[in-house]
Amino acid sequence: MRDPLLEIPCTTIDGRQKALADFNAKALLVVNTASQCGFTPQYKGLEALWTRYRERGLVVLGFPCDQFGHQEPGDEGEIAAFCERNFGVSFPLFAKVLVNGGEAHPLFVALKKRAPGLLGSKAIKWNFTKFLIADEGRTVERFSSRTPPEALAARIEAHL
Distance CA 94, CA 153 (A): 23
- Count CA within 13 A, CB hemisphere, residue 95: 11
* Set 10, 37, 65, 83: catalytic member: 37
Handedness of CA 111, 18, 39, 133 (dihedral sign): positive
For residues 138, 18, 44, 124, the Cα torsion angle rounded to the nearest 10 degrees is: -60
- Specify whether the CB–CB gap between 69 and 103 falls below 8 A: no
User: Is 37 labeled as catalytic in the residue annotation?
Assistant: yes
DSSP code, position 106: H
User: Could you say which DSSP state residue 12 is in?
Assistant: B
Residues acting as catalytic residues: 37
